[in-house]
Copies of this chain bind each other. A is one copy, B any other.
Amino acid sequence: MGLSATDITIFLLSLSVILFFARGLGELLRYFKQPIVIGEIIAGIILGPTILGTIFPGTFNSLFNQSEEVVTALNGITLLGVVMLLLVSGIEIDLSLVLRQSKAAVVISLLGILFPFSVGFFSAYFYPEFLGLTDPSLHLVFALFVGTALSITALPVVARTLMDLQIFKSEIGYLIMAAAMFNDLVGWIIFSVVLSMIGQNSGHSLSLSSLIIVIGSFLVFVLIFVRKFIDYSLPFIQKRFTFPGGVLNFIFILGFISAAFTEYIGVHAIFGVFIMGIAIGDSVHLKKETREIIYQFVTNIFAPLFFVSIGLRINFIENFDPLIVTVFLVLAFIGKVVGCGLGAYWGGLNKNDSLIIGFGMNSRGAMEIVLGTLAYQYGLINEKVFVALIIMALVTSISSAPIMNYFLKKVKTELSFHTLLKKEYVIFSSSQTKDEVIAELCKIVAVQKKLDFNLLYNSVMKREELITTGLEKHLAIPHARINTKESIIAAAVVRNGIEWNSLDKLPAKFIVLLLTPEDKPEIQLNLLSDIAKKYNDVKIIEEIIASKDANELISKVKQLY
Contact = CB atoms under 8 A, between A and B. Distances in A.
A297 B2 contact: no
A425 interface: no
A6 B204 CA distance: 10
Interface string A265-295: 0100100000000000000000000001110
A252 B19 contact: yes
A252 B4 CA distance: 22
Interface in A35-57: 36
Contacts of A266: 5
Given A1-B377, A79-B11, A241-B27, A301 B256 contact: no
Nearest to A76: B73
A252 B12 contact: no
Given A6-B202, A23-B249, A296-B293, A1 B242 contact: no
Contacts of A2: 71-72, 75
A136 interface: no
Contacts of A8: 79, 260, 263, 269
Contacts of A297: 248, 293-294, 297
B23 A241 contact: yes
A1 to B, nearest CB: 4
A255 B12 CA distance: 9
A321 interface: no
A245 B72 contact: no
Contacts of A259: 12
Contact of A269 (B12, B76, B300): B12
A300 B72 CA distance: 24
Contact of A242 (B3, B36, B203): B36
A248 B16 contact: no
A11 B77 CA distance: 11
Contact of A296 (B19, B71, B241, B245): B245
A241 B28 CA distance: 10
A78 B1 contact: yes
A14 B245 CA distance: 19
20 contacts: A1-B377, A4-B202, A5-B199, A5-B263, A5-B264, A6-B202, A6-B203, A12-B256, A12-B260, A16-B254, A16-B257, A19-B249, A19-B253, A27-B246, A69-B72, A72-B73, A244-B296, A245-B300, A249-B301, A292-B293
Interface of A: 1-6, 8-13, 15-16, 19-20, 22-23, 26-27, 30, 36, 69, 71-80, 83, 199, 202-203, 240-242, 244-246, 248-250, 252-257, 259-260, 263-264, 266, 269, 292-294, 296-297, 299-301, 304, 377
Given A19-B256, A249-B304, 5 more contacts: A11-B76, A23-B250, A26-B242, A26-B245, A77-B77
